[in-house]
Amino acid sequence: MKKQIAFDGVLASEYLTEYELDQMGMKVQQAHDMLSAGTGPGGQHIGWVHWPETYNREEYARLKQMGETIRNRAEAFIVIGIGGSYLGARAAIEMLCPVFYNQWSKACRKAPEVYFAGHQMSALYTAHLLRLVEEKEIYINVISKSGTTLEPMLAFRLFREMLEKRYGKEEARKRIIVTTDLTHGPLRRLAEHEGYETFAIPDNIGGRYAVLTPVGLLPMVVAGIDVDAVLAGAADVVRLYGKPDVDNNPAYRYAALRCLFYDKGKTTELLASYEPGLRYVAEWWKQLFGESEGKGGKGVFPASLHFSTDLHSLGQYIQEGRRDFFMTTLWVEAPSEQVTVPAMGDDTDELNYLSGVSFHEVNRKACEGAMLAHTQGGVPNLRIIVPEQSPYYFGQLVYFFEKACGISGYLFGVNPFDQPGVEAYKRNMFRLLGKPKIT
């Protein structure tokens, strides 16, 4: 049987008492009951809980076929989306594809270059991306459940115009894939009018919980990621992360400890990783927890760090600054490739004591040293151990965080599946832009 992601809270135990853990365990049981029965706030949006086992097999087969077609024909694939409509896919590609993925030759990559648009409104970024792909064979995937989010819809208009001018409307239709609501919204209406290939975002799954739906899966297939393994990883932990008690459910224990630290004034969580490929896992995690918990004046503020790089910029603050945060380290146990320190005859750099030691082992000691130092400095430390950077464990990790986040939101007494505050800036922006009708 394959390993599972492990959760380690040993270095945080001195900050907590058994009584506190027992009391939080009872609250977790109540949150579990609400999430399982769909009786908590936002209960109509918990389709992700059983999705790894119940996803639409027919649509999934069609998605894989379309992804392979794009993979074989395109030189560049543009994913257009923002927030939950792109972060999960980007997290998967950054974690599971080779570092410097787009710089490799297609013969080595065996897939098109993948770029992202519509996740901001920078004129410079957009102009340079348009110029970069202007001579490449392009397919695009625009992702928006509502079809009204300004950033991706503006980008889609630009790339749609590019494709229609270059290929003509008929050929452009074949190169545009739309992932949106099953029946409603302007993007759905446009897709049906133009005859674009479409994939549905389930009604009962919100964007930040939609990584394992067509939102994330189509870009993964195009990039050559084994999505069968991704879904298998998630499915294999549905039962484990469905256990109601914190002692036997790592995801629930993580949620419980986060809330206990919050109650002790630790209102910020720093997610630290030691692999550059996990940078966008952290970005997705920040949206997942920030948008789910940050309501009613409550919620842990999610921030991320990239070690050992940030140990040389923020390490001093972590060690001796304000004591209002705790840390969670995301650690990959076994890298897919190794680099070993060579022996040098003269040892003028005084590094021969590390001869024959792998970079990963040096990284491990940096991680262990930092966790010990920060704990001694008054910062509780948690650790999530991922056996390897593989599709199977990406699926596990996504489900681990999703389940923990759902429980954590209920522990804070908020609806973890809505985002009413996001609409405030949109209404102001549309008003300032002179939009004729603002809802």
Q: What is the pLDDT of residues 91-125, one digit of tens each?
A: 999 999 999 999 999 889 999 999 999 999 999 99
Which CATH number fits the domain that encloses residue 358?
Answer: 3.40.50.10490
Question: How do residues 31-58 score in pLDDT, each as one tens digit?
Answer: 999 999 999 999 999 999 999 999 999 9
DSSP 413: T
Q: Which of 221-230, 258-267, 373-382, 417-426 has the lowest mean pLDDT?
A: 417-426
User: Which residue, 156, 175, 171, 170, is CA-closest to 76?
Assistant: 175
Domain of 206 in residue numbering reads as 50-227
Contact 181, 146 (CB under 8 A): yes
- Residue 291 designated active-site: yes
**Structural domain includes residue 439:** no
| Residue 376 and residue 238 share a domain | yes
Per-residue pLDDT band for 422 (boundaries 50, 70, 90) equals: confident
Phi/psi at 63 (5° precision): -65, -45
| Residue 247 and residue 334 share a domain | yes
> What is the predicted pLDDT for the residue at 1?
62
Question: How do residues 210-239 score in pLDDT, each as one tens digit?
Answer: 999 999 999 999 999 999 999 999 999 999
| Torsion region of 321: left, alpha or beta (phi above 0 gives left; psi -120 to 50 gives alpha) | beta
User: Which residue, 141, 139, 146, is CA-closest to 189?
Assistant: 146
| Residue 339 and residue 275 share a domain | yes
Domain end (from 179, 199, 227)? 227
> What is the predicted pLDDT for the residue at 420?
84
**Structural domain includes residue 435:** no
With a CB cutoff of 8 Å and minimum separation 6, the contacts of 235 are 52, 53, 395
| Residue 259 and residue 144 share a domain | no
What is the rounded average pLDDT of the residues 77-95? 97
**Structural domain includes residue 95:** yes
Residue type, 189: R
Contact 393, 91 (CB under 8 A): no
Q: Can you tell me whether residue 172 is helix, strand or coil? A: helix
Contact 91, 284 (CB under 8 A): yes
**Degrees, nearest 5: CA angle 242-144-96:** 60
| Residue 164 and residue 260 share a domain | no
> What is the predicted pLDDT for the residue at 439?
58
Per the structure, the count of domains in the chain is 2
Q: Can you tell me whether residue 103 is helix, strand or coil? A: helix
**Structural domain includes residue 432:** no
Domain end (from 227, 248, 266)? 227
Active-site residue (options: 113, 291, 293, 402):
291
| Residue 316 and residue 298 share a domain | yes
Per-residue pLDDT band for 424 (boundaries 50, 70, 90) equals: confident
| Residue 76 and residue 13 share a domain | no
Please say if the pLDDT value at position 199 is more than 70.
Answer: yes
Question: How do residues 330-366 score in pLDDT, each as one tens digit?
Answer: 999 999 999 999 999 999 999 999 999 999 999 999 9
Phi/psi at 222 (5° precision): -60, -35
**Structural domain includes residue 438:** no
| Residue 130 and residue 272 share a domain | no
What are the distances in angstroms from CA 371 to CA 93, 310, 319, 364? 28, 14, 10, 11
Rg (CA), the chain: 23
**Structural domain includes residue 430:** no
**Structural domain includes residue 22:** yes
| Residue 346 and residue 208 share a domain | no
Encoding tokens for residue 407?
A: 């429980």
Length reported for the chain: 439
Domain end (from 195, 227, 259)? 227
| Residue 335 and residue 202 share a domain | no
> What is the predicted pLDDT for the residue at 278?
98
- Strand order from edge to edge, sheet including 138-143: 113-117, 76-80, 138-143, 176-181, 197-201
| Residue 154 and residue 59 share a domain | yes
**Structural domain includes residue 83:** yes
In 301-375 the beta strands, taken as DSSP E runs, fall at: 301-306, 325-332
- Residue 75 designated active-site: no
Active-site residue (options: 27, 136, 264, 426):
426
Per-residue pLDDT band for 430 (boundaries 50, 70, 90) equals: confident
| Residue 287 and residue 400 share a domain | yes
Percent residues over pLDDT 90 in the chain: 92
